[in-house]
Structure 1
């Protein structure tokens, strides 16, 4: 059998896209470990289950409707109308790889967007309504934003917006969706005091969080270079270097800025600083010089530290810092393209046109994400409820939602016959098991 150059190139590109899809899918493990490590032990199984739901329900939703909305034949620059269940007319997608390889890569992105929200709503959102939300996030919200920016005929695509691998479509959409969800859901019990001061609800396993950070960083080598869709594109080397440098700069900024601001290097800000750098460089990794990547990533690390404080002041309780990492720095990354892009960027003689397009684009998808998520959460709140009871929150969602703890013997036994008013005072506990549960829960907090 003779193999021509085009066949060989297509084969190399297919292997490249499938490999990168696997790396992006591995990022779900990073989300799971990072988010589980950042919260209390009694809720760590629940958050891993939410991320697993993103990878199962979210994937099926993207297969059934999301991909068609995102890449189907355009209707008015707003939505795709073909390609549901990866069937129908998709000939307009000009690819050198099979449509199935392309779908798998894009499905991994959809799951990542949903997993950004899971961390922000940790420790108090019911599991059942989260299933509904992740199906809508991966199947509707993310695909509409993706169609606007990446779909053939999308209005932002035609406007000339540049978002190479998704600072806007994935990270800004996920981050501002998370903010809307947090506003409707409310903060965790005991997070904020009546006088406006804040209580620390400490992470239970920072080593686990660091492992999640390293896995996410590793997976980003599929996220950004993989968006080239070609193993023969020589620019993938620069994309990979820019990705790595931005992460390093963001992590360095997180370390040094917290040392300057608080007198100690904050591990959580070091991790989130690196992730903020990654979220920020995702839009421009193919368009900027490595020096610019360091500047973009370093500023992202500082913005992340500052943003966490801002969101705490408005009582937007985000246990893992997802809004600061993805919402703030996904937005920054899109704007940064208009400043630092070597072709068309403000600092490279391109004027303000690209910068204006970038600003319009990220504002548009952010408003879409915030508004749609806010509406969905309000509807879910009125219909089936989204918040666990005070007693369930106190006991821990691992037991109440899933019937098992993440760490056998280290998490409280169930609270039997405990009135919700007793969870803060310890009064009204009617069994030895309940007394032990409150004691252990206090230690766990």
Structure 2
């Protein structure tokens, strides 16, 4: 039976480990936010590219379209897009909960910062997917039509593709069976309907397919 001194030593050890985990989580959160900022700055790059390829009289329209991607994209991604992308899986096709962060932990709970940072990072990608379209339709589309297209991309089209590839339950995800609890369940998962696409799943590390191919399509 452990003595009081031994229990105190163990408690101090566990507290030190917990502090280490918290520090690592803070670093992860800061890194995700920084990456999200860099992705968001792609909006500036796309704007410069598009402005340089059109006549001066349409410069204002192009800049408005890129601002629209960011502003409306944030609303669409928060209300529906994030839930469709990372909510509870249905048939490997789409998420069905966590809309507007419903059902998530409170701001005070551990891990909330990482969730919000991940939301910010993915919102920047969602806006980028819509902006890819902007470059192709510069001087060829009315603002009202582009607004509708931007909303559709950020709240439905892009989130569904994200769920396919980046959500654990997506039909193309390489992580489909990682939520199983035992080796037997994992093997059964691999053998049955949740087997990985082509035996390995589709790994898209930085969005070459999920973001840019979706925007281009």
Where on the TM-score scale, by shorter chain, does this alignment land: which range? 0.7 to 0.9
Deviation at 1:22, TM superposition (A): 1.0
2:168 alignment counterpart: 152
Distance 2:124 2:102 in 1: 19
Residues 35 and 133 (structure 1), Cα distance of their counterparts in 2 relative to 1, 3 Å cut: same
Contact 1:33–1:48 under 8 Å retained in 2: no
Residue 191 of structure 2 corresponds to residue 175 of structure 1:
no
1:23 alignment counterpart: 38
Distance 2:74 2:131 in 1: 12
1:56 alignment counterpart: 71
Residue 137 of structure 2 corresponds to residue 121 of structure 1:
yes
Distance 2:84 2:112 in 1: 21
Distance 2:60 2:214 in 1: 26
Contact 2:129–2:215 under 8 Å retained in 1: yes
Structure 2: stretches of 5+ with no match in the other structure: 1-14, 106-110, 177-196
Q: Which moved more, 1:63-72 or 1:29-38?
A: 29-38
Distance 2:61 2:117 in 1: 31
Deviation at 1:69, TM superposition (A): 0.2
Residue 156 of structure 2 corresponds to residue 140 of structure 1:
yes
**Deviation string, structure 1 residues 190-231 (Cα, Å, up to 9, x no partner):** xxxxxxxxxxxxxxxxxxxxxxxxxxxxxxxxxxxxxxxxxx
Contact 2:73–2:155 under 8 Å retained in 1: yes
1:191 alignment counterpart: none
Give the TM-score taking structure 2 as reference length: 0.75
1:387 alignment counterpart: none
1:234 alignment counterpart: none
Distance 1:73 1:28 in 2: 30
Deviation at 1:63, TM superposition (A): 0.9
1:69 alignment counterpart: 84
The number of residues matched between the two structures is 172
Q: How does 1:194-209 map to 2 (within 5 A)?
A: none
Distance 2:209 2:32 in 1: 21
Distance 2:53 2:126 in 1: 23
Contact 1:73–1:89 under 8 Å retained in 2: no
Residue 112 of structure 2 corresponds to residue 112 of structure 1:
no
4+ runs of 1 displaced by more than 3 Å? none
Contact 2:28–2:114 under 8 Å retained in 1: no
Deviation at 1:89, TM superposition (A): 5.2
Distance 2:112 2:172 in 1: 24
Structure 1: stretches of 5+ with no match in the other structure: 177-445
**Deviation string, structure 1 residues 382-413 (Cα, Å, up to 9, x no partner):** xxxxxxxxxxxxxxxxxxxxxxxxxxxxxxxx
Distance 1:64 1:37 in 2: 34
**C-alpha RMSD of matched pairs (Å):** 1.8
Deviation at 1:145, TM superposition (A): 0.5
Give the TM-score taking structure 1 as reference length: 0.37
State the secondary structure of the residue aligned to 1:133. helix
Deviation at 1:96, TM superposition (A): 9.0
1:339 alignment counterpart: none
Distance 2:79 2:113 in 1: 21
2:59 alignment counterpart: 44
Distance 1:58 1:164 in 2: 22
